[in-house]
A and B are shown apart, each in its own frame.
Chain A
Amino acid sequence: MKNRGIAFKLTVLMMSSITLILASVWLYNYSFSRRIIIANVEKNARNLALATVNRIDSVLLTVQKVPSNMAHFLESFSYEGGDLLKLIRSMVENNPEIYGATIAFEPYAYSPNSQAFAPYFHKRDDKLEFTYIPYEYFTWDWYQIPKELDRAIWTEPYYDEGAGRIVMTTFSVPFYRVTMGERVFMGVVTADVSLSWLQDIVSSIKVTQTGYGFLLSKNGTFITHPDPDLMMNETIFTVAEARGDHDMRNLGREMIHGGAGFTPFRSLLTEKGCWMVYLPVSSSGWSLGVLFPQDELMEDIFQLNRIVLFLSLAGFMLILVVIVLISRSITRPLRALSNATEHVAKGNLGIVLPSVKTKDEVGRLADSFQKMVSSLRQYIKDLTETTAAKERIESELKIAHDIQMGILHKTFPPFPDRSDFDIYATLEPAREVGGDLYDFFFMDPDHLCFTIGDVSGKGMPAALFMAVTKTLLKTKAVRSLTPDMVLTQVNRDLCLDNPSSMFVTLFLGILDVRTGEVEYCNGGHNPPYLLRWEADAKPLESTGGVALGVLESAVYHSNKMILREGDSLFLYTDGVTEAMNSEEAFFTEKRLVVELGFLKGEGIRDIVCKVKEKIRSFSEGAPQADDITIMALRYFGYMRNS
């Protein structure tokens, strides 16, 4: 998802939200309408079941009265055989619901001559038939149960093989005779009811297409059921056992115990899910169940749901198309821009950007992008020119550097045939070219002029000024002139034409190589150090002059000192003492003096190099801020020759 395009994300997110909304609406609609329908079904089901139960009950209750009255009559009045037959006959004749009837006596109770006496009238093909019950009826349920229970009962439905030869149920009322204060059981009065009318009533229950009603007897036998294999054969419990359906068994128990309810139930005919309402038939202890096939009742809802689902799908497709189109229109220019950007990123600034006509965010983005590309192009053009100019300047500077270095002595020892002194110098400009200078040359065979200076400022102007100073020095320092005179003349020449008011500090000394006498003049420069074996490094006495090029009328004085054999002079520019480390601390003269104290025994080349080394390690790679120039001179006199 993260790596997918905007159009994809937009479509997926929008469509999932819409699906969610549509599904929720659909579900709510479904569950709500379902609830309503179920409520209605339950109401209708109860009404239907109740009406049916009432029809059954009314018949059974009507039938019940007849043998009950007869039993009461038998207990209250005396009777004879002929009376009994007439009574039974009228029972059957006058009550259309009664299929057959008998009065069955206990053994020898009717007459000491006959063990069993049970005259039986029953209807057959609209005619009345008469028989004495041909079997020993004393252990039959219709006789034995009321006798043992001492009350009237409805029997379980049964097929009467001996007399009635139909499926029937019998209402059986015991009657008694009181002899000598004792109530003696005499027999039962029965009324048989054919179950065919019952089956007619129950099978007339038609709910939608496959709904049906069924009747359970008191012990769970199917009295009526659309499946003839179940009728009068299976009980709800055998069916439950065959199906391994424990719920059905529990439901069956509740039904035969007189429960009423509304519950889901699977049709035994179609295996469809149904709702079943069940009610007890109170007179006989039976239970009526009416099944309402769920799918058939829900047909309207299903139909509605199908339409809603279809509409939702159609809407979904429509929205999908719209979203895809919108997101395309947004992302098409974005994609084009993105492609163009890739080209720009590769450096192809000449590419023509796609034109976006809209004035929305995308349009503005395209405009800005166009401007950015133009600016980039201009910038790169400028940069190219600048770089070319810079390169030219740099190459010029390189040449200038070479020239500057060229005018300095770089070959050491400079006077390989001289053993009476040694001199070593180094200059390290902070940039390509620098403002420091040093020089040494013989003014005559006995006098070595040496000088070190530092032009104010840095870079090219300083370098030019340095070159001028060095040239002036070379030309002015001629035989028999003292340092102060040289500096005075150089100062004057420098001041003559110095529009940029530059100046240079300068130390100039002249060594008489025969005697070791040094006459020197200092024009504002750091005083050089005298290094002696037995003493600490000591700066030379000041001569009090100012930097050259500042004041035309400046006056300089010379001093003299003697270099003994082995003495050295250490000359430097402020680039040494003002060298900075990364914490912007100076190297300082103090540190220089300490270092020189350690190094004074070394050769001058080593002294110079090691001081430089110290400075480098002190500055720890911090960029060099100023030119560093060091010059050292050691006088040997004739020490070396001897």
Chain B
Amino acid sequence: MRKIVCFIVLILVCAPCGASGQLGLKKATFVPQWVPQAQFAGYYVAQERGFYKKEGIELTIIAGGPNSPPLDLLKEGKADLATLWLATGIQARAQGMNLVNIAQIIQKSALMLVAKKANGITSVQDLDGRKVGLWGPIFQIQPRAFFRMYHLNVKVVPQSYSVDLFLRNGVDAASAMWYNEYHRILNFGMNPEELTTFFFHEHGLNFPEDGIYVMEKTLQRDPELCRAFVKASTEGWRYAFAHPEESLDVVMRNLRKEYIPATRVHQKWMLARMKDLILSEGFSAPMGRLAHEDYDRVARGLQSNGLIEGIPPFHEFYNKCHEE
């Protein structure tokens, strides 16, 4: 037993120098914050099409998910690059973790509330006094601000990743990601016209979500790696949007590899929504920019919910690696 452990350690130690020496490629590891669904199609497509290699990176993608928390992997150095929600990133930075946003990929918040018209909810005011399902703290900043904004007194019910509680009227409104739960609700037989939707970005609560993060020391050590990763990733995204079917093949293959049940139509919907969220400014807009006002909005949201105390300076948090 001990021999085997030694052997593994030996391999782990020797592997990086061996591989990188061969092709002159830099080795890097990337972890997206969740399972390899279409939410991360751009990175998997870039990997599949060799965009990272072209930029001089030999990239390993660790499948994300509940067992691979990206913050931990970054901190422990098991991953060089990760995607995180902007709010998560700011929170981690504010709590002393030296990570840096090198590209804000998603520009528009996909978080939303969904309710059934059949339960008498057709406007914001109809939510007053209702049971609303909310996910964990990071996901609660926008809805709570929303409730304050409209003076809604709601009963918050903790929500899991299942939408059954909502479908069976255990809650009157449920949290949903536009690219995921909303479509799953549709695919459990609800028709769009039977639903009332509240998009937070339509209520002045646009919290941009997925961005690319590295530890500050990684950036200092190899800024070129960060720049190259962002470049290849944005190229991957653009390719994915231009070739949705090919990208879906890649996504489905990676999901199957992880034994994650998946349906192609759902991934197709997700990819289309990612296009809406990432290219919210249009196809020609530069990808990966983090707007200062977006940063402030999210940071203040965190602060007012007591999730952070001080707001980290923007220039420390964000290091622009993308092209203009």
Q: Which residues of A contact B (CB under 8 A)?
A: 138-141, 144-145, 148-149, 153, 155-156, 218-221, 232-238, 241-242, 249, 252-253, 256-257
Contacts and interface: CB of A to CB of B under 8 A. Distances in A.
Interface string B249-276: 0000000000001111110000000000
Contact of B164 (A219, A234, A242): A219
A62 to B, nearest CB: 23
Interface of B: 131, 157-160, 162, 164-165, 167-171, 186-189, 191, 261-266
Contacts of A253: 189, 191
B262 A145 contact: no
A242 B245 CA distance: 13
A111 B167 CA distance: 33
Given A145-B168, A236-B189, 4 more contacts: A148-B157, A241-B187, A253-B191, A257-B189
Contacts, number: 70
Given A141-B165, A153-B168, A219-B167, A235 B160 contact: no
Contacts of A219: 164, 167, 188-189
B158 A145 contact: no
Contact of A238 (B165, B170, B191, B266): B266
B165 A237 contact: no
A235 B263 CA distance: 9
Closest 9 A/B residue pairs (Cβ): A148-B170, A219-B188, A139-B160, A233-B261, A237-B187, A238-B263, A241-B265, A242-B265, A238-B187
A140 B167 CA distance: 14
B157 A233 contact: no
Given A235-B188, A237-B186, A253-B189, A141 B263 contact: no
A534 B119 CA distance: 137
B189 A145 contact: no
A619 B125 CA distance: 118
Given A138-B158, A220-B189, A155 B266 contact: no
Contact of A144 (B160, B169, B265): B160
10 contacts: A141-B160, A141-B164, A145-B165, A218-B167, A219-B188, A237-B186, A238-B265, A238-B266, A241-B265, A253-B189
B187 A220 contact: yes
A138 B159 CA distance: 10
Contact of B188 (A144, A153, A233, A237): A237
Nearest to A242: B265
Contact of A235 (B159, B162, B168, B189): B189
A330 B103 CA distance: 97
Main secondary structure of the interface of B (DSSP, over half): loop
Nearest to A137: B160
A233 B264 CA distance: 11
Residue from the set A145, A148, A219, A242 with the largest chain B CB neighbour count within 10 Å: A219
Nearest to A254: B189
Contacts of A236: 189
Nearest to B170: A148
A148 B165 contact: yes
A138 B263 CA distance: 28
A232 B261 CA distance: 8
Nearest to B161: A139
Nearest to A285: B168
Nearest to B260: A233
A155 to B, nearest CB: 7
Contacts of B261: 232-233
A235 B165 contact: no
Contacts of B168: 145, 149, 153, 218
B87 to A, nearest CB: 21
A190 to B, nearest CB: 15
Residue from the set B157, B164, B189, B261 with the largest chain A CB neighbour count within 10 Å: B189
A145 B166 CA distance: 9
B164 A155 contact: yes
A256 B157 contact: no
Contacts of A138: 158
Given A141-B164, A220-B187, A233 B265 contact: no
Given A139-B158, A148-B170, A156-B164, A233 B262 contact: yes
A141 B162 contact: yes
Contacts of B264: 242
A502 B170 CA distance: 143
Residue from the set B131, B160, B186, B262 with the largest chain A CB neighbour count within 10 Å: B160
Contacts of A153: 168
A57 to B, nearest CB: 20
Contacts of A252: 189
A237 B262 CA distance: 14
Nearest to A150: B170
Contacts of A249: 189
A145 B131 CA distance: 13
B237 to A, nearest CB: 24
A517 to B, nearest CB: 140
B262 A144 contact: no
A365 B45 CA distance: 93
Contact of A148 (B131, B162, B167, B265): B131
B167 A149 contact: no
A135 to B, nearest CB: 10
A227 to B, nearest CB: 13
A145 B204 CA distance: 33
Nearest to A253: B189
Nearest to A149: B170
A232 B158 CA distance: 25
Residue from the set B157, B159, B168, B264 with the largest chain A CB neighbour count within 10 Å: B168
